[in-house]
Amino acid sequence: MILERKLYKLVKKLAILYYRFLCLVLPVNQKRVVFDSSLGKSYAGNPKYIYEYLVANGYDIKWDCIWFYEKDKYNIPGMSRQVQYGRMRYLYYMATAKIWVFDNRQPEFLIRRKDTYYIQTWHGTPLKKLALDMEDVFMVGETDINEYKKHFAKNVQTWDYLISQNAFSSETFARAFDFHKKMLEIGYPRNDILFRDNNEEAIKRHKKMLGLPTDKKIILYAPTWRDDEFSEDDKYEFRPKISFEKLQEELGDEYIMIVKYHYLIMDAVDWTPYEGFVYHFDQSRDIAELFLVADLLVTDYSSVMFDYSILKRPMFFFAYDFYKYKNELRGFYFSYRKEMPGPISSTTEELIRDIREYDGSLYEEKYENFCRRYNGVDDGSASGQVATLMDLLIPAPCPNVYYENE
């Protein structure tokens, strides 16, 4: 273990030196754009929908688009090239790109060059406290809250643009991230598909593509991760307190269940006992497609609630550890019990009862207020607005500008 740590530190030091060397000797490629989602773990989220808008409008032919992947290449449309995250070529493309488009923080040593623009799309409206607003930290590799805040704030200084879904997020991000550059309060690009494909024909197409039956209603279970639930080898674990066995027994005749957990969850779960009822999708699957096919959402404190509510479908909140999460782990930015536009349960039995007895009229006013506050900006045009910005940031071709394209 000690030898592994020493080797890791050496490799990291060499990577830093190599990146800095590239920045010194190579010019910025004026038409190169790099993308990744969840640090290469998925082809999804805001970067995906920005990129696919670019493809649909021919920008991928004019620009040199690079997608970073962690393990296996993705099935990506357009003229982009895929490069493995963290490798030497990754450092080369990071050093020479004109625009970075990411939805998570990048390694701290990757300092943005002055001729490069960084569009941070982020990955959700905050319910739980973030960054500088946090009072303690329990995350993998993080033990000192002050150090965590210092490194977070330093990373944010590299961002030029930050996408926000609503005024509440803009205010929260500015404070919690100490962000004082350009806030793009335009809604989330990943939600554009919820406007475009929210129709019977498109939903059937998505169900077929996902291999889902069409004769039953669909429950989407999408919980957040717990900061303090990780294994000895520092991997976040999925420790569900929900009983899939009871759900299958009580609801299996009418429903199937999609399980989609947070991208940080790395452990494998044996779903064999629930075959035919539970359909599991890992972190690489784009959750927006799952929103479209789901008749209802079950979540806890995840920001998926803000996106799913655009569809105006029932939402249920399985908050089995509410007081621990509120008082010991993260805490919330607003009153959870007052604002959630659906039933809140703490046991599987309560959740089953809530689903069976759901009366949407009881939550109609709450739901309208929730949508007005948190997704009133989303209108299906966010990807196009980002593309327009990128078009302004990338200069028109001229003889004295570097345009190498391998």
Tell me the pLDDT tens digit for each residue of 271-286: 889 999 999 887 677 8
pLDDT at 390: 98
Q: What mean pLDDT do residues 42-46 have? A: 94
Q: What mean pLDDT do residues 138-143 have? A: 58
Q: What mean pLDDT do residues 62-86 have? A: 95
Q: At 169, is the pLDDT very low, low, confident or very high (cuts 50, 70, 90)?
A: very high
Residue 397 has pLDDT above 90, yes or no: no
Q: What mean pLDDT do residues 53-69 have? A: 97
pLDDT at 328: 66
User: How many CB atoms sit inside 10 A of residue 236's CB?
Assistant: 21
Q: At 268, is the pLDDT very low, low, confident or very high (cuts 50, 70, 90)?
A: low
Q: What mean pLDDT do residues 147-159 have? A: 92
Structural class in CATH, domain 193-374: alpha beta
pLDDT at 239: 61
Do residues 35 and 68 lie in contact, with contact meaning Cβ atoms separated by under 8 Å? yes
User: How many CB atoms sit inside 10 A of residue 186's CB?
Assistant: 19
Residue intervals in the chain for CATH 3.40.50.12580: 193-374
Instruction: Specify the amino acid at residue 95.
Output: A
- 11 closest CA partner among 70, 86, 68: 86
Q: Report the alpha-carbon distance of residue 306 to residue 126 in Å, rounded.
A: 9
Q: What mean pLDDT do residues 14-18 have? A: 93
Q: What mean pLDDT do residues 72-91 have? A: 95
**The pairing of beta strand 81-84 with beta strand 117-120:** unpaired
In this structure, whether the domain defined by 2-186+382-393 belongs to CATH 3.40.50.11820 is answered with yes
Q: At 330, is the pLDDT very low, low, confident or very high (cuts 50, 70, 90)?
A: low
Which has the higher per-residue pLDDT, 340 or 236? 340
pLDDT at 406: 47
Residue 107 has pLDDT above 70, yes or no: yes
- 19 closest CA partner among 71, 82, 96, 81: 96
b or e along 261-281 (b: 16 or more beta carbons within 10 Å of the residue's beta carbon)? bbbbbbeebeeeebeebbbeb
Q: What mean pLDDT do residues 197-225 have? A: 94
- 131 closest CA partner among 152, 160, 110: 152
Q: At 226, is the pLDDT very low, low, confident or very high (cuts 50, 70, 90)?
A: low
pLDDT at 236: 44
Residue 235 has pLDDT above 90, yes or no: no
Cα Dmax for the chain: 69
Residue intervals in the chain for CATH 3.40.50.11820: 2-186+382-393
Q: Report the alpha-carbon distance of residue 186 to residue 183 in Å, rounded.
A: 9
Q: What mean pLDDT do residues 3-13 have? A: 80
- Paired tokens of 220: 């989407």
Which has the higher per-residue pLDDT, 147 or 2? 147
**At 36, is the secondary structure helix, strand, or coil?**
strand
What is the Cα 68 distance to its own chain's centre?
A: 15
Residue 227 has pLDDT above 50, yes or no: no
Q: What mean pLDDT do residues 118-130 have? A: 93
pLDDT at 142: 62
DSSP bridge partners of 119: 101, 161
* pTM confidence score: 0.90
Q: What mean pLDDT do residues 247-254 have? A: 97
Q: What mean pLDDT do residues 126-138 have? A: 83
Q: What mean pLDDT do residues 351-370 have? A: 97
Which percentage of the chain shows pLDDT scores above 70?
A: 88
Q: At 2, is the pLDDT very low, low, confident or very high (cuts 50, 70, 90)?
A: confident
DSSP bridge partners of 316: 298
pLDDT at 253: 96
Residues 6+ apart with CB under 8 A from 23: 95, 111, 113
Q: At 162, is the pLDDT very low, low, confident or very high (cuts 50, 70, 90)?
A: very high
Residue 113 has pLDDT above 50, yes or no: yes
Residue 75 has pLDDT above 50, yes or no: yes
User: How many CB atoms sit inside 10 A of residue 217's CB?
Assistant: 12
Half-sphere exposure of 269 (CA within 13 A, CB side): 20
Q: What is the mean pLDDT of the chain?
A: 89
User: Looking at 76-90, 149-163, 229-243, 247-261, which range is the least confident one?
Assistant: 229-243
Residue 12 has pLDDT above 60, yes or no: yes
Residue 132 has pLDDT above 60, yes or no: yes
DSSP bridge partners of 39: none
**Phi, psi at 321, each rounded to 5°:** -120, 40
